[in-house]
Amino acid sequence: MAATVVAGQQIEMMGKAAPQRRTQSLAERNRELFDAQRKARRGPTPEVFFAKHIDNTRLVKADDPERRREMRQFSIAMGMLFLLVMVYVWQHFLAIEIGYKVEAQKTQVEQLREENRQLRLSQAQLTDPERIDKIAKQLGLDAPQPGQVVRPDGSVMPAGAVLAQSNAPALVAQ
């Protein structure tokens, strides 16, 4: 009920000041509204606030052994849980890293197999007797004449066809 009376007084004060406000500046109008609200709010007695300084430096918190034990158990449990989670995460990231290494090595093996295949193909092309014969003829080389081939031991190859022979090393008796 008192709130409606105060609101009614504010409306009356604002209504009385309405015709004069048209000529006043905005700052003056705001100041008048603020003063009107303050008068309607406070009533006959002014509001007084006192600063109260509280000094809690002499207070000492009481020690609770049961609470301390509970907090210690909780901390240990949380520490163990954290440790288990960290081990799991470490293993997970290690497995991912090893997976990347395995894939990289598989790719490397495939590249090496392809390179080996290319090298074998190149070797087969380079050691082809027809190719070697063609290149020799381009360079002006011919088949060796009889007696032209000399062995490393100093003997000369015979001119005719030679059959393959096997000379078994002699056993030395003691």
Q: What is the pLDDT of residue 3?
A: 56
How many CA atoms lie less than 13 Å away from 35 in the CB half-sphere?
8
Q: Check whether residue 77 and residue 38 sit in a common domain.
A: no
Least confident of 11-20, 28-37, 137-146: 11-20
Between 144 and 1, the higher pLDDT residue: 144
Task: Phi first, then psi: give them for residue 156, nearest 5 degrees.
Answer: -100, 140
Residue 158 in domain: no
Assess if residue 68 is contained within a domain.
no
In this prediction, residues 69-79 reach a mean pLDDT of 97
Cα 173 to Cα 155: distance, rounded to the nearest angstrom: 29
Do 94 and 36 share a domain, yes or no?
no
Residue 160 counted as domain residue: no
For 135-160, how does the pLDDT look when each residue is reduced to its tens digit (9 = 90+)? 988 998 888 777 777 778 866 665 55
| Weakest mean pLDDT among 10-24, 63-77, 106-120, 143-157 | 10-24
2 lies in some domain: yes
Q: Count the domains in the chain.
A: 2
Whether residue 94 is found in the same domain as residue 40: no
CA atoms within a 13 Å half-sphere pointing along the CA-CB vector of 47? 7
Q: Is 3 helix (H, G, I), strand (E, B) or coil?
A: helix
- Statement to judge: residues 87 and 132 lie in one domain: yes
Residue 148 lies in a domain: no
Length of the chain, please?
Answer: 174
As beta bridge partners, residue 150 has 156
pLDDT at 57: 84
Does one domain contain both 94 and 134?
yes
pLDDT at site 21: 45
pLDDT at residue 74 is higher than 60? yes
Residue 171 within a domain: no
Which residues, in sequence order, are CB contacts of 24 under 8 Å at separation 6+? 32
- Greater model confidence, 21 or 165: 165
Is 82 among the domain residues? yes
Integer Cα distance of 34 and 32 in angstroms: 5
**Is 31 in contact with 20 (CB distance < 8 Å)?**
no
- 38 and 79 in a single domain? The answer is no
In this structure, is residue 16 part of a structural domain? yes
CA distances from 17 to 10, 23, 114, 158 (A): 11, 11, 98, 142
98-127 per-position pLDDT tens digit: 999 999 999 999 999 999 999 999 999 999
Whether 134 and 79 share a structural domain? yes
Domain hosting 101: range is 73-139
